[in-house]
A and B are shown apart, each in its own frame.
Chain A
Amino acid sequence: MPFFVWAQFVTSFLLLLAFPPLEAAGVLQLMDKLAGTSFFLPSGLVVSGQQLAVAGGGSPLLWQHLFWFLAHPEVYVLILPAFGIVAEVIANNTRKPLWGYRLMVYAVTFLGFMSFIVWAHHMFMTGMGTVMSTFFQTTTMIISIPSVVILTALVISLWGASIRFTVPMLFALAFLPMFAIGGLTGLPLGLAPADIHLHDTLYVIGHFHYVVAPGTIFAMFAGIYYWFPKITGRKMSSLLGHIHFWPSFLFINGIFFPMLIQGMAGVQRRLYDGGASYSHAQGVLHWNVFMSISAWLLGLSQIAFIINLFWSIWKGKKVDSNPWGATTLEWAAAPSPPVAHGNFVEVPTVVRGPYDYSLPGAAQDFTPQHQEA
């Protein structure tokens, strides 16, 4: 199976098993609102100088536990498909098999499993206790290993390849260092002592956005540029793609990197005046201007993408069914755009793995999955 399919497979399990606890939290919340219970309100809670008239005995921490039990696997729901897209694009544009495919599949499965036992690393500062913190910081350090395995395998896949710098490949290549920054900035947050300093600062915002903006969103762009010919039978403009990619790559760093600096200086994310009256923020607040300009320019550079997307739907260059010379079934065994109903004209039989690129002795540099030697 292509790595993308594995990633989606694990993602579906995360969705299936992580959402019901949020549903449970919703049921409890509904009872709080309708039946007057107080699952999340402790006894003797004082609001605006008045003691709340509730039954009490509840626990606000319970809400956090239920919420993060969903929300931690949920971030892997965001990133695993991105891994999958990037893996497909890299294999296709390096014209060689993914390095360590089997290892990557094991890693993504392990990642999915581990994502269920790291949730309370979002809660180091809630007073849940040091034993809990120790457990969750340990599991958090463990879960970083499979992510690094996948990323390393993707980097090694580039080794010795004659890389085609197509637009999807540019986004996929940008994903690697950007996600690496996102991942590595997460390690200090996963360690309870370092988190005491960094918790709730802009550093967290910077970290999270490095994971999902140049991470997930770049992977999505890579996926859109890569599979666009599959959907429409036309290619997106390469020129507009470059006009989209380079500024995006530049300005997205312009927004989120200064956040790491501000956060390390201790600037919280929810200061009511944005930090103007806090002395510890004075040295780094001037970055706000830089970040705002970057944000506007990043927004502007998306115009190229929007124009490209709509223009290419009707006016893009027509291409044949397999313009990237891909091995996987959706390209090799089906027409682009797809026929009206059903995926394949003729159901193919898979006879080989998904990444048979540049086989020695083969007629072309890719051998489709359903093609006998």
Chain B
Amino acid sequence: MDIPYTVEARPDTGVFNAKLGVWLFLASEVMLFGALFSSYVLLRTGAAPGTWHHGREFLSVPLATLNTLILIASSVTMVMSWASLKLNNFKQYRVYMGLTILAGLGFMVVKAFEYGHKFEIGLFPKSNTFLAIYFTLTGLHGLHVLGGMIVNGYFWGPGAKLWRTQPERFTNRIEVAGLYWHFVDLVWIFLFPTLYLL
């Protein structure tokens, strides 16, 4: 049995089904990160005066800036990979998708150096509440990056077989994977100023 609306948009929702599904999933993700950001706000504003530690005491702004640039660049390459498929250029898709995955890997490597350095000088999640929320938020975000890399890796490798049989459907898959990737990028755009700068 054919599953309807995998390629063309459903008339009542205006999008194809997978896209609607990803938007709903992202809505729940917004609530997840929203709750954690709210917890951060509540803990910080509720801390006794003078006891709150600030990110700039521990964190490296240059490294985080580098990571911000890497992630923004990966969002661009993600869009380019989708656009390549729209232009029927599968080779170019592979290049851009590969770059996206490499950028994700780069982000994780930089993050690993940051974490490693913290642990080296004895800064752990239990050291203070700022570091606790820092490790929780960036850790969860890191897991999201990892998840995105796995999905993108699948579409770069074995998942790409679908291109030969159902190119439109494959293109749509890249589009919704891209929506997720942009969301992960966006979370970082919020994490960077709230943890490193403020």
A-side residues, CB < 8 A to B, are 16-21, 23-25, 27-28, 31, 35-39, 43, 54-59, 61-62, 65-66, 69
Residue interface bits B128-170, CB-to-A below 8 A is 1, else 0:
1100110110001000000000000000000000000000000
Interface contact B36-A24, CB-CB below 8 Å: yes
Contact B35 A24 (CB under 8 A): yes
B71 → chain A closest CB, angstroms: 22
Question: Are B46 and A35 interface neighbours, CB within 8 A?
Answer: no
* Whole-angstrom CA separation of A318 from B37 in the bound complex: 57
Q: Which of A25, A57, A69 has the most CB of B within 10 A?
A: A57
B13 interfacial contact with A, CB 8 Å? no
Other 12 A-B pairs with CB < 8 A, given A28-B39, A36-B126: A20-B31, A20-B34, A20-B35, A21-B31, A25-B35, A27-B36, A36-B124, A37-B125, A37-B136, A38-B132, A57-B128, A62-B43
Which residue of A16, A35, A62 is within 8 Å of B135 (Cβ)?
A: A35
Known: A27-B140, A59-B43, A62-B43. A20 touches B125 (CB 8 A): no
User: Which listed residue (A21, A38, A59) contacts B32, Cβ 8 A?
Assistant: A21
**For the complex, would chain A's binding face be called helix, strand, loop or mixed by DSSP majority?**
helix
Is B69 part of the contact surface with A, judged by Cβ < 8 Å? no
* 12 A-B pairs (CB sep. < 8 Å): A16-B24, A20-B34, A21-B34, A24-B32, A35-B125, A37-B135, A55-B128, A55-B129, A57-B51, A58-B43, A59-B43, A65-B38
Contact A31 B127 (CB under 8 A): no
| B28 located at the interface, meaning its Cβ lies under 8 Å from any Cβ of chain A in the complex | yes
Q: Which residues of A contact B39 (CB under 8 A)?
A: 24, 28, 39, 62, 66
**Size of B's binding interface in residues, CB under 8 A:** 30
Which residues of chain B come closer than 8 Å to A54, judged between CB atoms? Answer: 126
Do most interface residues of chain B lie in helix, strand or loop, or is the interface mixed?
helix
CB pair B132–A31 under 8 Å, yes or no, is: yes
CB distance from B116 to the nearest CB of A (A): 16
Closest chain-B Cβ to A98's Cβ sits at a distance in Å of: 23
Is B42 on the interface with A (CB-CB < 8 A)?
Answer: yes
B125–A36 touching, CB < 8 Å = yes
Query: Is B121 among interface residues, defined by CB-CB distance under 8 A?
Result: no
Instruction: Check: B22 CB closer than 8 A to any chain A CB.
Output: no
B contact residues around A25 at 8 Å (CB): 35
Smallest beta-carbon distance A337→chain B, Å: 21
Q: Which residues of A contact B125 (CB under 8 A)?
A: 31, 35-37
A158 to chain B, nearest CB (A): 33
Write out the residue numbers on chain B whose beta carbons fall within 8 Å of the beta carbon of A17. 27-28, 31
Task: Give the chain A neighbours of B51 by CB distance below 8 A.
Answer: 43, 57
Residues of the B chain whose Cβ atoms lie less than 8 Å from the Cβ of A27: 36, 136, 140
Nearest chain A CB to B155's CB is how many angstroms away? 25
Cα(A39)–Cα(B51), bound, Å: 15
In the assembled complex, the Cα of A19 lies from the Cα of B88 at a distance in Å of 41
Query: Do residues B132 and A20 form an inter-chain contact, with CB atoms below 8 A?
Result: no
Interchain nearest-CB distance for B121 vs A (Å): 17
